[in-house]
Structure 1
Amino acid sequence: MKKRESFNNKWGFVLACIGSAVGMGNIWMFPTRVSLYGGGSYLIPYFIFVILIGFTGVIGEMSFGRATKSGPVDAFGYACGTKGKRKLGEILGFIPVLGALAMAIGYTVVMGWILKYMIGAFTGSTLAPENVESFGAAFGSTASAFGNNLWQIIALAVGIIILMFGIGNGIEKANKILMPLFFILFIILAIYTACQPGAAEGYKYIFRIEPKVLADPKTWIYALGQAFFSLSVAGNGTLIYGSYLPDEENIPEAAGQVALFDTIAALLAALVIIPVMATTGAQLDQGGPGLMFIYLPALFKSMPGGHIIAMIFFVAVFFAGLSSLINLYEAPIATIQEKLGLNRKLSCGVIAGIGVIVSICIQGIVSGWMDVLSIYICPLGAGLAGIMFFWVCGKKYVEEQVNLGREKKFTDKFLPICKYVYCPICILVLILGIALGGIG
């Protein structure tokens, strides 16, 4: 049997998982949610849900992957195989794999935008428009059907080349560069922002607590959605990264580090973007691509040293996006390797071909594409992985796998919380997403 690839060390794995978690949700959604839902009033439930999901779902997916040394298809197959239903498990395992591929394809479109704006920050084209309306028109042209083919293909090629080098020499090495640089660049931006007149108002805004907002169910619902999607529990990326872990690694400790650094990344984004808006008197009520590609470039243009800030910002965002992109493509690539027996480079080539064709075709509808995936497929994949591991595999198996590599046994409350709190939360996220048109 061919030896399975693995991460070279624990920090390589942790940085890869941080890279998978740190993405556009941290940068273009988290600051907006903090602004809209009362600053600290939003942060309190957000921290609660990050701790809850980090120490249940993230640990579960990492442990499930490591235990089965496989992606979702064979992992789900193993779980159902204990009940004599392996084929059913394998079929269900394709749901998170196809979800990861579809999400990666949508993310490829976004990465094309980011790459174009990053290069444009150096050439001057990103900040060339005269006003917000002109910035909006420029982005509208980029985000239209077939409006950004070249940059999109280049962004995908960069991700696939990294993946071709495998786990230790590709994913791990890339994240050891991308993640530290991302944090360093955002810290530079945060320091610069702190030195701007009026920034203090932004900090007051971030950390204020309004009891009325804290008591509003919507604050808790959107904090739950943000935490859930930010930690990348979807039954695919975290599970597949876990499958490359040696038995000596302490998974609960690694999960805690991933949750911590993902939260720091989100807070850094808020500490940059909200004070920047405050210094110019702008209102942060527009999240998503509009914030990143229209309103922030317009603000950068009006700030002293704005061209340099735009360069740093879009390079940092590109690093965050690239680390997430390679995580999303890894599950389908690994599945092709496992099920079709193709080598690594050929598997990457097959997935790249699908990625190029489909991503070019969905450019004009990518927003709706991503909404469907985040509302339906991600919570469904996370829920299925949770049910397979925590319910189907059984108490003895779960406790053995979670405690592997630990000197002290993890809490006895872990399994009951996962079964009776985390799994229902996955179902709740699915229901609330359908009811409210998305909460992530």
Structure 2
Amino acid sequence: MTNASSRETFGSRLGFILSAAGAAVGLGNIWGFPTQAASNGGGAFLLVYLVLILVVAYPMLVVEMSIGRYGQANPVDSMRSLTTNALGKRVGGAVGWLGLSVPSAVLAFYSIVGGWLICYLLGAITDIIGLQTATAWFKGFSVERNAFGTLVFYVLTILIVQGGIKEGIEKWSTRLMPALFILFAVLFVYIMMQDGSMEGLQHYLIPDFDKIWDKQLILAAMGQGFFSLTIGGCSMLIYGSYLSKKENLPKMAMNVTLVDTAVAFVAGLVVMPAMFVAMKHGVTIYGPNGALLSSDTLVFTVLPMMFDSLGLLGQLFAVVFFLLLTIAALTSSISMLECPVALVGERFNTRRTPTSWVLGGAIAIFSMVIVYHFASLFGVVAMVSTQYLQPFAALMFCVFGGWVWNRNQKFKELSSGFETFRTSLFGRIWPWYVRFVCPLTVTAIIWASFT
């Protein structure tokens, strides 16, 4: 196990917040959240989502980050450090390996989607220049194009991770995350100037209170909040291990939660009005029964059709939109690759650069297999990793954090940087909340995915 004193840490609070929020901010926020909101009554979904983020996802984020900071190591060794019992250590190690399988499996399919975004970005640029053949290739769905996009996405991810925490992940997160917000602001102003946007904004911001108690809506919002903050995805555990002991951990976790939720909220502000603008231009989005026709193609079909219908300015904003999505995907993928890189580097004392390329290359090979057998593998890998592996890993982190981890050591860890933890309202509620409420909630999410 790594010597904690020699372990690299984030250089600043802002660096940590933007890096951890970047890990959480991904296609789940910008693609998944607006799609879920559009499918589940707009404003009603938004309201339920905001409540569940605070009462379910945030307390679990504190668990993961505190386990990482206490263990000062990769997920496997951090989980083993929670107990002195020999059997407990073995089970903890197994939970760590389970947790580690999540980012590796997610990265295998996520990078393919990241590759599509890069291809659409390049296609939007060649469209403006007038290179029609190249545009058709970039926007088509050939195996060669998918393989090209995926490999470019991996190269970008590996180049950032090989730089380490301060010079790689923190340096790029503090540049990419503000860029994300600036691009969003530009897009929002542009979309709101189009006909039909106000209708979309009302649909998004004004809740239909009759729908708030709908079981499907509540489960969808719970699942979305859960995946939005990458609970059970190991990224927060590994980033927590790089967090200084001087920092107030619950406060840092709250900052990450707020930034992540802000991105999801702003994504809805852009995408929902854009959908209504697209409808004004004759694009069919909802079926006769009011259900969203194509949740998976919203980003790749509906919005590009809207941009195309708005002339040259629309094409320029298509470039902005896909650049924004590529940035969001990259800030997540670097945290996914960091998990196995940290484990191998700490266990075998290997140098970061070759470790990043070897492990990134190994997962890239798996992605290539998926690309070449797309129809049979992509959906299965995505479903297994997000619906089964991730919630189950989150449940086990919760059980270990709530029941196995020694209460005094846990309180000591959370009091580090937060001296009044034991006497604070958070300190009184959180320990029992993590023992009872959080495991029941995660079990409900797992149960819902089977029914």
Q: TM-score, normalised by structure 2?
A: 0.90
Contact residue 112 and residue 149 of structure 2 kept, 8 A = no
Quick one: distance in 2 between partners of 1:395 and 1:377? 27
Quick one: distance in 2 between partners of 1:288 and 1:112? 19
Tell me by how many angstroms 1:195 deviates: 1.4
Residues 339-382 of structure 1: per-residue CA shift (max 9 Å, x gap): 23222122212212212211111021323211111110111111
Identity of aligned residues (%): 30
Does structure 1 residue 252 correspond to structure 2 residue 260?
A: no
Matching of residues 100-249 of structure 1 within 5 Å: 100-124=103-127, 141-142=141-142, 145=143, 147-249=145-247
Tell me by how many angstroms 1:289 deviates: 4.0
Quick one: distance in 2 between partners of 1:300 and 1:26? 21
Contact residue 24 and residue 320 of structure 1 kept, 8 A = yes
Q: Secondary structure at the match of 2:254?
A: helix
Q: CA 1:125/1:99 → structure 2, altered by over 3 Å: closer, same or farther?
A: farther
Does structure 1 residue 328 correspond to structure 2 residue 315?
A: no
Q: Secondary structure at the match of 1:413?
A: helix
Counterpart position of 1:52? 55
Residues 408-427 of structure 1: per-residue CA shift (max 9 Å, x gap): 32421111111111122222
Counterpart position of 1:349? 357
Tell me by how many angstroms 1:209 deviates: 2.1
Tell me by how many angstroms 1:407 deviates: 4.2
Match of 2:400 among 388, 392, 400: 388
Contact residue 83 and residue 406 of structure 2 kept, 8 A = no
Counterpart position of 2:99? 96
Match of 2:391 among 373, 379, 382: 379
Tell me by how many angstroms 1:211 deviates: 2.7
Quick one: distance in 2 between partners of 1:47 and 1:224? 10
Quick one: distance in 2 between partners of 1:384 and 1:128? 52
Deviates more, 1:22-31 or 1:241-250: 22-31
Contact residue 138 and residue 145 of structure 2 kept, 8 A = no
Residues 78-126 of structure 1: per-residue CA shift (max 9 Å, x gap): 2243465322321221111122111112111111111111111111189
Quick one: distance in 2 between partners of 1:331 and 1:288? 30
RMSD over aligned Cα atoms: 2.1
Q: CA 1:265/1:287 → structure 2, altered by over 3 Å: closer, same or farther?
A: farther
Match of 1:403 among 415, 418, 433: 415
The number of equivalent residue pairs is 428
Matching of residues 71-82 of structure 1 within 5 Å: 71-82=74-85
Quick one: distance in 2 between partners of 1:28 and 1:419? 32
Contact residue 71 and residue 240 of structure 1 kept, 8 A = yes
Q: Secondary structure at the match of 1:124?
A: helix
Match of 2:297 among 290, 297, 315: 290
Quick one: distance in 1 between partners of 2:106 and 2:409? 31
Quick one: distance in 1 between partners of 2:259 and 2:35? 19
Question: Residue type of the partner of 2:370?
Answer: I
Quick one: distance in 2 between partners of 1:418 and 1:286? 38
Does structure 1 residue 362 correspond to structure 2 residue 374?
A: no
Counterpart position of 2:289? none
Counterpart position of 1:427? 443
Q: CA 1:296/1:77 → structure 2, altered by over 3 Å: closer, same or farther?
A: same
Contact residue 127 and residue 297 of structure 1 kept, 8 A = no
Question: Residue type of the partner of 2:447?
Answer: I
Question: What 5-or-longer segments of structure 1 have no aligned partner?
Answer: 436-440
Match of 1:67 among 67, 70, 90: 70
Quick one: distance in 2 between partners of 1:126 and 1:3? 51
Question: Residue type of the partner of 2:410?
Answer: V
Question: What 5-or-longer segments of structure 2 have no aligned partner?
Answer: 287-291
Tell me by how many angstroms 1:215 deviates: 2.1
Quick one: distance in 2 between partners of 1:366 and 1:27? 20
Q: CA 1:138/1:118 → structure 2, altered by over 3 Å: closer, same or farther?
A: closer
Match of 2:32 among 26, 29, 32: 29
Contact residue 127 and residue 307 of structure 1 kept, 8 A = no
Residues 314-356 of structure 1: per-residue CA shift (max 9 Å, x gap): 1111110000000111111111112232221222122122122
Q: CA 1:78/1:207 → structure 2, altered by over 3 Å: closer, same or farther?
A: same
Quick one: distance in 1 between partners of 2:357 and 2:338? 12
Quick one: distance in 1 between partners of 2:325 and 2:367? 20
Contact residue 235 and residue 385 of structure 1 kept, 8 A = no
Quick one: distance in 2 between partners of 1:186 and 1:276? 12
Q: CA 1:269/1:14 → structure 2, altered by over 3 Å: closer, same or farther?
A: same
Does structure 1 residue 4 correspond to structure 2 residue 7?
A: yes
Quick one: distance in 2 between partners of 1:37 and 1:128? 40
Tell me by how many angstroms 1:249 deviates: 0.9
Deviates more, 1:46-55 or 1:373-382: 46-55
Tell me by how many angstroms 1:128 deviates: 8.8
Question: Residue type of the partner of 1:13?
Answer: F
Q: Secondary structure at the match of 2:81?
A: helix
Quick one: distance in 1 between partners of 2:57 and 2:412? 19
Tell me by how many angstroms 1:288 deviates: 4.7
Counterpart position of 1:87? 90
Quick one: distance in 2 between partners of 1:36 and 1:232? 22
Q: Secondary structure at the match of 2:141?
A: helix
Counterpart position of 2:315? 307
Quick one: distance in 1 between partners of 2:26 and 2:294? 14
Q: Secondary structure at the match of 1:81?
A: coil
Q: CA 1:264/1:127 → structure 2, altered by over 3 Å: closer, same or farther?
A: farther
Contact residue 128 and residue 316 of structure 2 kept, 8 A = no
Counterpart position of 1:438? none
Question: Residue type of the partner of 1:196?
Answer: Q
